[in-house]
Amino acid sequence: MILAVFMMLLAPLGQARRVDSVTVPNHLTLGHARLVLNGAGVRYYAIFFSVYVGALYLEHPTHQAAVALSESGPSRVAMYFLRGVTASQLRSAWREGFRRNNALAIRKQLGPEIQSFIHLWHPLKDHTQVFLDYLPKQGPRVSVTRVSINGHLAGIFPGSAFHEALLRIWLGPHPPTHALKRRMLGH
């Protein structure tokens, strides 16, 4: 009986991880898929200021960026903002992330989608939650990346190519910080 009580007390410890001041779930359900926390870390600005906790969820965890980028199943990038950011800061960061991590040909091909994505951002307050969910094609339904801010749908972007270009912002050669990339890859 004592062992059973002890196990019940420890059970919640396996259900979430603490990153900075954010409790990040170890797993979640997206559509009909169970996703596992691949890794999570803090995005710092100028070394001292924590901006957000970024978490990557995949069906099959991996420590390799190339494998995560080629994953065809559903995924989520969760961003838990630790401070407020302006629309200008957000748009600039997204624009720079797409530019630094995607070839010119890809940026041209996805130009309208990238511009729409960049322009949907407005100022975010601290404690804002952003979910970037990829839902792959199932039957006649097209693959989409769904953007939610505090549980409200903010945008939908079709195609797996957009999803991969977006994911490259964190997992490409020039992520916001290499420490965040390593953490999101579970290192």
Q: Report the pLDDT averaged over residues 103-127.
A: 97
Compute the distance between CA of residue 154 and CA of residue 144 in angstroms, rounded to an integer: 13
DSSP β-bridge partners for residue 30: 33
pLDDT at 151: 96
Phi, psi of 31, rounded to the nearest 5 degrees: 65, -125
- Give pTM, 2 decimals: 0.89
Give residue 14's pLDDT band: very low, low, confident or very high (50, 70, 90).
Answer: low
Q: Report the pLDDT averaged over residues 62-76.
A: 95
From 31, 25, 62, 19, select the one nearest 180 (Cα to Cα). Answer: 19
Assigned token pair, 26: 């170890």
In DSSP notation, 6-62 reads HHHHHGGGGTEEEETTEEEESEEEETTEEEEEEEEEEEEETTTEEEEEEEEEESS--
pLDDT tens per residue across span 125-172: 999 999 999 999 866 678 999 999 999 999 999 999 999 999 999 999
End-to-end CA distance of the chain: 37
Q: Which whole-number Å values give the CA distances from 128 to 8, 78, 124, 170, in the listed order?
A: 31, 11, 6, 19
From 183, 25, 38, 154, select the one nearest 94 (Cα to Cα). Answer: 154
pLDDT at 116: 98
- Domains of the chain, by residue range, sit at 24-184
- Which residues in 9-45 are b (16+ Cβ under 10 Å) and which e? eeeeeeeeeebeebebeeebebeebebebbbbbbbbe
CATH architecture of the domain with range 24-184: 3-Layer(bba) Sandwich (3.50)
Give residue 56's pLDDT band: very low, low, confident or very high (50, 70, 90).
Answer: very high
Compute the distance between CA of residue 36 and CA of residue 84 in angstroms, rounded to an integer: 28
